[in-house]
Structure 1
Amino acid sequence: MSRPPSERLLAPGTFEPLVADCAAVVRDEIGRRGPVIRTGFNLVRRARPDLVERALRYLLPAFARALDPYHAEAEAAGEALGPHLLARDGDVADSLLAVTDRRIERVENRAVRNLYGKLRGRARAEVVRSLPAVVAVLERHL
């Protein structure tokens, strides 16, 4: 059995390049959205240019651990992880969003919590739509 994704993705020498690649995916995905989303994102980035990278550094360890059960399933089935994740895209999205749901519970800023609540209903579809790009990044780093 190979090491789980969390061990490999969080290893020194892998983690920072992973953060950079994931930040590029976030920027690309935001760039494909409507002007309101793009404008809002750009305003936030002007105020905090490193916001995406900081958020990823915080969330990626939990995201990586959320992928470990899918790795075990893929290995047991003799499948590669990437195609397995894509075949289970809805479940994977739910697992990743469970990480952000747990995080938002600890956020004290009411405006941030309200914004998350407004966006959460669409989040699953957005994560599923973005999953091929995420899997491509993961495959580069695993």
Structure 2
Amino acid sequence: MVAALKESLLDESRVPEVVSDVNALIDAEVSDKSGASGLALKGGYAAVKKVGPSIVPDAIEGLLPEFVEKLEPYWQDFSATGGASFSEYLVARDEDVSNSLLGVTDSRIENSDRGAVKKVYSSLRSSAQKHVIEALPRLGDLVQKYAA
């Protein structure tokens, strides 16, 4: 059986590097956005980072175990099928994967006591699935980098 993602992504010695890579992935995805929705996303992201520069990395670290848990069944299935690219695997199941991942953040935001973060998240949530789907290629590459 293939090693569980938590063994490779949540290993204490790797967590700081994984968090840094996920933060870079988010920065790159936000930077790539264009048009009115891109401007809104960039503005919201900048606002959250201004409220607290550590909010994003802290959120990544806090949410990482739950995201890894949600990705685990996809990784196990991908590994069992002997695919070459986890990115392609995720993209082929984009709606399923994005809904699964967004379930983590929806639940967390619901229980947050940070009003500014809740407000920004709720204003961006309607377009979040599209953004998560667009991030799947980078996410798949990141996961495969650590888990392969």
TM-score, L = length of structure 1: 0.86
Q: Do residues 76 (structure 1) and 67 (structure 2) align?
A: no
Secondary structure of the residue aligned to 2:13 is coil
Q: Deviations 1:84-130 (Å, cap 9, x if unpaired)?
A: 22221221111100111111221234453343233221111110011
Distance 1:37 1:124 in 2: 13
Percentage identity across aligned positions? 34
Report the counterpart of residue 64 of structure 2 in structure 1.
Answer: 60
Structure 2 vs 1, CA of residues 100 and 40 (structure 1 numbering), >3 Å: closer, same or farther?
Answer: closer
Match of 2:100 among 76, 79, 95: 95
Deviates more, 1:91-100 or 1:102-111: 102-111
Tell me how far 1:36 sits from its aligned partner: 4.0
Aligned residues: 142
**Rounded Cα–Cα distance in structure 2 between residues aligned with 1:129 and 1:105:** 24
CA RMSD of aligned residues (A): 2.0
Change (3 A) 1:81 1:62: farther
State the AA in 2 paired with 1:87: A
Alignment of 1:1-142 (within 5 A): 1-33=1-33, 34-80=38-84, 82=86, 83-142=88-147
Could you tell me how far apart the structure 1 residues matched to 2:44 and 2:6 are?
32
**4+ aligned runs moved over 4 Å, structure 1:** none
Residues 98 and 132 of structure 2 are in contact (CA less than 8 Å); yes or no, is this contact kept in structure 1? Answer: yes
Would the aligned equivalents of 1:30 and 1:38 in 2 still touch at CA under 8 Å?
yes
Secondary structure in 2 aligned to 1:13?
coil
Q: 1:118 to 1:35 in 2, by over 3 A?
A: closer
- Contact 2:2/2:76 (8 A) holds in 1: no
Aligned CA distance change for structure 1 residues 76 and 20 (closer, same or farther; 3 Å): same
